[in-house]
Amino acid sequence: MEIRKPNDSEHKKVLSLSPQALFDGTLGEVKPSDEKVKLLIEPLLQKGSYYLIATEGDILMGWILIGTSKDHFTEKKYGFIYELFVLEEFRRNGVSKRLMETGIEHLKQDGYSEVRLSVYAGNHAIKLYEKLGFKNKFITMSLPI
């Protein structure tokens, strides 16, 4: 498995699959259109966020979208993992873990001393994040009314 930045055609493929990534990541709660995904992701890419992809030969297995964010209270900048996705046929083979480890290393090399991410409660990826050392920092709660 190779993890690297995508070329142009791979980048387009990732963008075309991003609606599915958001759907899966939100446990089916959000089914965004291609246009909505574009509105969410383009500003991140314009501000320096970037994808790393996992491939086996010419086969795309998954990706991670990493960049920067800023703490609303302290104004401190930190590395942020915006998206992690592995295509269904490649899940449970360590692809997510390798993408996370590589993404964290890139953020460290980019000068960040902290990495954060957001995840839906109930998402199976939480177990991976905890194994990698992530801890709850903020909890958003919801009350249907």
Structural domain spans, the chain: 2-131
Average pLDDT over residues 23-47: 80
The pTM assigned to this predicted structure is 0.89
pLDDT of 27 reads: 64
How many Cα atoms are found within 13 Å in the side-chain-facing hemisphere of 115? 23
Which CATH class, in words, describes the domain spanning 2-131? alpha beta
